[in-house]
Amino acid sequence: MSEYDFVKGHGTENDFVLVPDANGKHELTAAQVARLCDRRAGIGADGVIRVVRTDATDDPAAVAARGEARWFMDYRNSDGSLSEMCGNGIRVFALYLATHSTIDPREPLKVATRAGIRTVTFAVSDEIEGGIAITVDMGTPTFGPESKVGVGERTWPSVNVGMGNPHAVVFVDELEQAGDLLTAPTHDEQVYPHGVNVEFVSRVGERHVAMRVHERGSGETRSCGTGACAAMVATALVDGAERGTPYRVDVPGGTLFIEWTEDDRILMTGPARIVAEGMTTL
Ligand SMILES: N[C@@H](CCC[C@H](N)C(=O)O)C(=O)O
- Name the catalytic one among 37, 138, 224, 256: 224
pLDDT (0 to 100) of residue 153 = 93
160 is in an annotated binding site: no
Chain centre distance of CA 236: 20
Q: Do residues 70 and 211 make contact, with C-beta atoms less than 8 angstroms apart?
A: no
Residue 130: per-residue pLDDT: 87
Q: Into which CATH architecture does domain 142-264 fall?
A: Roll (3.10)
pLDDT of residue 98: 96
pLDDT of residue 1: 65
**Residue 104 CB coordination number (10 Å):** 10
ipTM: 0.99
The fourth-level CATH superfamily of domain 4-138+271-280 is Diaminopimelate Epimerase; Chain A, domain 1 (3.10.310.10)
Q: Where in the chain is the domain with CATH 3.10.310.10?
A: 4-138+271-280, 142-264
**225 annotated to bind ligand:** yes
pLDDT average per 10 residues of sequence, the chain (282 residues): 93 98 95 98 98 98 98 98 98 97 93 98 92 97 98 97 98 96 96 98 98 98 98 98 98 98 98 98 95
| Residue to probe by mutation, ligand 1, list 197, 199, 211, 266, most atoms within 8 Å of CB | 197
Angle at 4 between CA 2 and CA 130, to 5 degrees: 160
Binding residue per annotation — 77? yes
Task: Provide the Cα torsion 93, 98, 59, 9; round to 10°.
Answer: -20
**What is the number of the ligand 1 atom nearest to the C-alpha of 46?**
1
Residues having CB within 6 Å of any atom of ligand 1:
14, 47, 77, 83, 86-89, 165, 197, 215-218, 224-227
